[in-house]
Amino acid sequence: MSRRVFSTQLRWQNALLLLPVFANFAYGAGNLELRPSVPSPQPVGTLVSWTANAGPGSSAAYYRFRYRSPGGEYRMIRDFGPGETIEWMPSDADGTTEVEASRMDLESREITAVSEYFSWTSLATDGQPAITASGHPLVWIFSTPPCAGGTFMAVEYGTSSRTVSSTPFHACREGVSLTFQLAGLLPSTGYFARPILATAEQPLRYGPSVEFRTGELPDGLLSHTISRPRTRYTDQEIVLEAPIFPNRPTAVDLAGNVIWYYPGAISVLTRPGREGTFWGLIQSPGGTEMQRIREFDLTGMTRRETNAARVNQQLAALGRRQINGFHHEVRELPDGKIMALAGVEQILTDVQGPGPVDVLGDMIIIFDQDLQIVWTWDGFDYLDPSRPAILNEICSQGSCPPLYLAPDGNDWTHANSVQLAPDGNLVMSIRHLDWVIKIDYQNGLGSGNILWRFGKDGDFRLSTGNPADWFSHQHDSEFELNNTTLTLFDNGNTRRQSDPTVTSRGQVFEIDEITRTARVVVNADLGVFSFALGAAQRLRNGNYHFDVGWTLPANTSFSMEVDPAGRLSYSLQASGPQYRTFRMRDLYTPD
């Protein structure tokens, strides 16, 4: 291994001097060292602990970890925050990687960095593929011999009776072995796996097979019951689940069999990402440094992470309000940027009550691929705070993102999803205002102005003229396929105030933005009431998937499929609440 060290003095704006003092200190002194837990080289798939050590007696510090291929650009693993150790390995190929650790002294603002080169060797030998356990009982690592440039490779795997799935194709690099994570597997089951090679001129060619057997499931996962067998074919036979307690994301097949789970600790899974990655967020007791967003892979290893304290440094430098944490939404955009929802607290006087009142609003933050801010939108700048939450909801400690200005506050907007619409603008579900709004984003060039408000007392007129067709306290509004078809899950909380028999609905609207009219295309009564949580999704077979997230008193949830006429065609019941569920073809493709 070889080492590289440098030091630079940060030139923060005065606002950055407000950086909070943290409870978890990282101590060190002298020259910064980066120590891997095992010596280089190591086989692909070896999880390495990387510890940045500055020696005893130094002041408190933040640490950042990045990596790159020799001569390439650094990519973020974890941005500046508490903790001098990470566990990490490269995801897809053998070769040499440069791992960098940076230490930010919280007193002097000085940054010191050190990097180490580490080599990874292929598991494949003698021209034969190899498979090895990943540490996750349902995820295995498949390594291939090098393949010629211009060739593409994937891995097909299954049981003796049928093929289960195949990975995405990756481009071969001359002399470099490729590595794949195999997932979507039943526990305690024997499988085969074999490489598939393809070129533009040649049909698919198959390499030799290897065999392996999966491990057992841990205790504590949700149980499942088929409450209605499916009546229509679908190629989206996986249900990705985001339980809220226990907070352990899982994936099941349509028979309710667990085929994957997240082995780590996370508050909520928000969305599937690209090629076997997922996005989620963490809300932990403590300061803003404990409020995090994270991308992780099928083995559970963190790929990218940042925290609200680090984000507040950037917001202060931009002259923006500070956030108190992340909530509800983190997702990757088609151009590789990352979008997240965050909470913003303001003390407003004589606006939502007499005297000073703590009011919790929302901010949309767009990050680049290294989790550095490129665009923000703050609801306090564009929405009228004199229009309070329709049901006057209150946030208290433990029920919302952490509050720092008062013991409790008005939960004013409670946004729960934001999507990049096909026209390049943002569509945001604001639960406590019973609105879906469109925001002028224009793929990063927009003004942030609100283009329209969709919902009761908004800018649109329903073709039926029936106000009962409007949604209330909805979740997961999304344009599907085009700029006219909007899906959402209508919890129905506001409607239920006047009628205690009201149940939740899966809704699809056809919207005309020019005439400001809307037509209800699907208005499926799902037969139960979900007072919180939920999701909506158009399926590839033309049906619609709805997550009925939390039913009482049993604390259960349902993943339901309805046809275009709103008739139930499939229902999977889980033994706990689910923030969202998604139907997927495989664990590599986010649809």
CB 521 within 8 A of CB 530: no
Q: Do 99 and 168 belong together in one domain?
A: no
Q: Which residues of 449-462 are buried (b: 16+ CB within 10 A; e: fewer)?
A: ebbebbbbebebeb
Within 10 angstroms of residue 310's Cβ, the number of other Cβ atoms is: 23
> Is 31 domain-assigned?
yes
Q: Do 68 and 141 belong together in one domain?
A: no
Q: What is the pLDDT of residue 19?
A: 40
> Is 141 domain-assigned?
yes
Q: Do 170 and 150 belong together in one domain?
A: yes
The Cα 362–Cα 375 span in angstroms is 14
Q: What is the pLDDT of residue 22?
A: 35
- Torsion angle of the four alpha carbons 68, 72, 76, 79, in this order, in degrees rounded to the nearest 10: 100
Q: Do 9 and 67 belong together in one domain?
A: yes
Which residue type is seen at 153?
A: M
CB 290 within 8 A of CB 310: no
Residue 192 sits in a domain of what CATH number? 2.60.40.10
Among 192, 213, 234, the domain-final residue is 213
Nearest to 393 by CA among 359, 438, 342: 359
Among 213, 244, 262, the domain-final residue is 213
CB 177 within 8 A of CB 122: yes
Q: Cis peptide before 402, with omega less than 30 degrees from 0?
A: no
Q: Do 134 and 109 belong together in one domain?
A: no
Tell me the whole-structure pTM to 2 decimals: 0.94
**Among all chains, which residue has been given the structure tokens 């096909």?**
422
> Is 480 domain-assigned?
no
The Cα 36–Cα 253 span in angstroms is 38
* Radius of gyration (C-alpha) of the chain in whole angstroms: 25
Q: Do 153 and 114 belong together in one domain?
A: no
CB 81 within 8 A of CB 98: no
Q: Domains in the chain: how many in total?
A: 2
Q: Do 111 and 136 belong together in one domain?
A: no
Average pLDDT for runs of 10 along the chain of length 591: 38 33 36 95 93 86 95 95 95 85 93 95 91 96 92 94 87 90 96 94 90 96 95 89 94 97 95 97 93 97 97 98 97 97 98 97 98 98 98 87 92 98 97 98 97 98 96 97 95 97 98 97 98 97 97 97 97 98 95 81
Among 163, 185, 213, the domain-final residue is 213
Q: Do 104 and 85 belong together in one domain?
A: yes
The Cα 523–Cα 408 span in angstroms is 36
- How many residues are given for the chain? 591
Nearest to 144 by CA among 126, 160, 158: 126
Q: What is the pLDDT of residue 93?
A: 67
Sequential DSSP letters for 188-221: T-EEEEEEEEE-SSS--EE---EEEE--PPPS-P
Q: What is the pLDDT of residue 293?
A: 98
The parent domain of residue 195 ranges over 130-213
> Is 378 domain-assigned?
no
3-state secondary structure of 541: coil
Q: Do 23 and 110 belong together in one domain?
A: yes
Spatial CB neighbours of 106, under 8 Å, sequence gap ≥ 6: 19, 21, 22, 59, 60, 61, 62
> Is 91 domain-assigned?
yes
> Is 279 domain-assigned?
no
Q: Do 106 and 136 belong together in one domain?
A: no
CB 533 within 8 A of CB 245: no
Q: Do 155 and 85 belong together in one domain?
A: no
Q: Do 11 and 59 belong together in one domain?
A: yes
> Is 111 domain-assigned?
yes
Please state the φ and ψ torsions of residue 531, each to the nearest 5 degrees. Answer: -75, -15
